Structures are given as C-alpha cells and as structure tokens.
Amino acid sequence: MKAWRRLHIQLRIRGGLALAGLASASFCGGGAEAAIPTPDRLAAEPAPAAVEDPLERVNRRLFHADLWVDKTLAGKGRILGTAIWIPAPVRAGLYNAFDNLEEPSTLANDMLQRKVGRGAATAGRFAINSTLGVLGVFDIASKFHLKRTREDFGQTLAMWGVTSGPYLYVPLSGPTTFRDALAGSVDALFVPGHWFPMTGWERRGIKFVRFGVQPSTVGIRQVARGAAEDGDTPDEYATLRQLYYDQRADQIADRPNLADDPVASFPETRPRKKKP
C-alpha cells in the first residue's frame, strides 16, 4: 500500500465535530443540553464532518496560484516549507521554533477544554524549549518525555458545538475553514511575538516565514502533492481538502494525525513510486 494511502487511512474520519448549536442554546438557556462537552462525550458522539466548499472556484484559483509560487521558489514536488535550498537542519529548527511559539496558545486552549494534565505538560515544554532549547529551535522537552500536542481555538469552538463552516484556501498558509480562520485571530493573541516591541516589517517578515512553514498543514499539503506527482489522484485540490477535514476531525478527537510529525511527509523521507 502506498505511503500516502496509509497516511490517508490514518486520517479517516472516525469521529468529528459536535453538531449541537451550543452557543445559541447557551444564550437561550438551553439547560442540560448546553453543558460543556468533554473529550469523552465528543468521542462518544461522533458525527461526520460535511465538506462545505461554496467558494470552490475562488479556492481553486488560490490553490493553483500557490502551486506556481511553490514551483518557482521551492522547486518541483515541494511546498515552500520543504524547499530543497533550505538545509534540513534549518528546516527542522524552523518547525521547532514556530511550534514553540504556538505553545502558549495550546496551553490556553488546554485550559478552556479542561485538559489540565496536557496543559501542565505544554507549560513545561514551553519553559524548557524556550530556555534550554534556544527559543524553541531545539526540542529538548521531548527528551524529558513531554510530548508535543496541539490545541487551537478552532478545536475549542468545535467542542462547544460550533461547526466548521465553508472551506477556505489561504495562499501560503493552506487549507482552513471559516471557523478555524476566525479562531486563528484569537490564537494569534497568545503568540509571544506580540509581547515584544517590533517594527511592522519585522512582524510581516515573521508572518511570511510562519505561513511558509505552517506546521499544521504542511504535512497534508506535501502528501497531496506527492499523490498528484505519483499519479495516485487526478485532483490534488480535492485530495488536500479531504485530508484537511480528516486531519481536523482527528485533532479535535485527540487522535494521532499527520500534523504531529509533518517532517515524515517531506519528499526526501517519503517513499517514491519506482519508475518502470
């Protein structure tokens, strides 16, 4: 079985978004139905995430524009975050550093989702990697058995019953949904870069690099790219869209997914189809 197919099977939807209108119910005094859904309750009440893509025509144009950017700047078969001209150790350091910047947001969402144990581990990771790990460039915390986890406000909203809404493709950053895009502005408030004085150019530069090596979507983007190159899918856009919905379902249900180890999808690490 091809590597990308195995990854896709791992990402298959086995649970999904809670569909109850919890936010509306809470305003209307929904009583017991408005109780905070716990991770156990979410796992016990799986619901398939419907793909909504009313902006498909625009999304496809943005997606193909990204393909052109990647082909021009990163080279054939790669996205910007896996560009061949970026040495592997530098790429790994960038992934670790940006992951570390997301730890405060993960901690906040751990608390909002009442995942106290995971929150403590996240706080420990941030403290260790920000110091011993040289601002997160090196993942020292994993050597202390503090596993990296990711929680964002989009996942928190999903646990509160907010559905994903229309699918969106954002240039450089990749796939998202209306809910997750709005939630990202909340997560951005917890990025440590906002805590220090910076010029506008410095902030824009960091944002550009962060988009280019976006840890949460670079893995599935590379898998979809590899599948298209190997002739395993006639529609890379549709494959990536489904991979995104599958990944988000797994993230919300705290199941393993490709965002946990995006480096595994890099062109030099994934098996390639042998040419006859």
Digit-by-digit pLDDT tens for the chain (276 residues) are 444 444 444 434 333 333 223 233 332 333 333 333 444 433 433 444 678 999 999 999 999 999 999 989 888 788 888 888 888 888 888 888 988 989 999 999 999 999 999 999 999 999 999 999 998 899 999 999 998 888 999 999 999 999 999 999 998 889 999 999 999 989 988 887 667 777 778 778 877 787 777 778 888 998 999 899 889 999 999 999 999 999 999 999 999 888 887 776 677 666 656 555
Residue 10 lies in a domain: no
Looking at residue 261, its pLDDT comes to 76
Residue 25 lies in a domain: no
Looking at residue 10, its pLDDT comes to 43
Residue 42 lies in a domain: no
Looking at residue 91, its pLDDT comes to 83
Looking at residue 37, its pLDDT comes to 41
Total Cβ atoms within 10 A of residue 227: 23
Residue 91 lies in a domain: yes
The parent domain of residue 244 ranges over 49-265
What is the Cα–Cα distance from 141 to 184, expressed in whole angstroms? 25
Looking at residue 86, its pLDDT comes to 82
Residue 198 lies in a domain: yes
What is the Cα–Cα distance from 169 to 58, expressed in whole angstroms? 9
Total Cβ atoms within 10 A of residue 101: 19
Residue 31 lies in a domain: no
Nearest to 152 by CA among 92, 216, 98: 216
pTM for this entry? 0.76
> How many domains, the chain?
1
**CA atoms in the 13 A half-sphere facing the CB of 229:** 20
Looking at residue 266, its pLDDT comes to 72
Residue 183 lies in a domain: yes
Looking at residue 275, its pLDDT comes to 54
